[in-house]
């Protein structure tokens, strides 16, 4: 698997954060406003190798990463965005954040095509080491979902929303087609 030689270069690479390497302002709309999209989600983890193995056990393919004397960062290419795993303490330090630990008030959603698929993914996540914090069930908003927490406590809602469309590439859009 390819590895990037410089952690700093990879973390600050404009291409990974929606901008062009040439220094242009790709990613910014009119009048300096940010476009309505997400390019990268970085999950702070206590052990990058363990977290990498957990996501690979769920069927994710490691795309690239950094593995040098200073850093170990894993990158997974998802449709239209990148999910990365990095040491939680280093992520907090890089962002100038005091990390109180625990749940950060965010749940990441993963939309699927049926309630049965929700249950299959929850079972696979549990088998890979996740904790089911909310089992799959019909929800008041008209869909079906369940939530697991990965080994570092990140919450993932696996959901079937009959009012949204999950496209063949995994992209999800509001409304049905």
CATH for the stretch 1-95: 3.10.180
How many C-beta neighbours within 10 Å does residue 89 have? 11
**Cα–Cα dist 106/158, whole Å:** 14
Q: Please write the tens of the pLDDT for every residue from 8-62.
A: 334 434 344 444 444 445 555 567 888 888 889 999 999 999 999 999 999 999 9
**Cα–Cα dist 26/18, whole Å:** 7
Say what the pLDDT of residue 22 is. Answer: 41
CATH 3.10.180.10 residue ranges in the chain? 106-177
Say what the pLDDT of residue 20 is. Answer: 42
169, two tokens: 């590439």
Q: Given this structure, which CATH class describes domain 106-177?
A: alpha beta
């Amino acid at each position: 698997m390819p590895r990037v030689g410089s952690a700093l270069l990879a973390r600050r690479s404009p291409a990974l954060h929606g901008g062009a390497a040439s220094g242009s302002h790709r990613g910014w709309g009119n009048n300096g406003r940010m476009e309505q999209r997400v390019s990268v989600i970085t999950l702070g983890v206590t052990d990058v190798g363990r977290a990498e193995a957990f996501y690979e056990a769920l069927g994710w393919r490691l795309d690239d990463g950094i593995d040098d004397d200073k850093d170990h960062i894993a990158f997974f290419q998802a449709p239209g965005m990148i999910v990365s795993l990095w040491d939680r303490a280093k992520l907090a330090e890089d962002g100038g954040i005091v990390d109180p630990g625990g749940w950060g008030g965010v749940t990441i959603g993963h939309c699927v095509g049926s309630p049965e698929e929700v249950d299959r993914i929850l079972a696979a996540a549990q088998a890979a080491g996740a904790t089911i914090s909310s089992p799959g069930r019909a929800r008041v908003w008209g869909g079906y979902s369940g939530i697991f927490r990965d080994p570092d406590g990140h919450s993932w809602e696996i959901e079937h929303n009959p009012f949204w469309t999950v496209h063949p590439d995994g992209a999800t859009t509001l409304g049905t087609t």
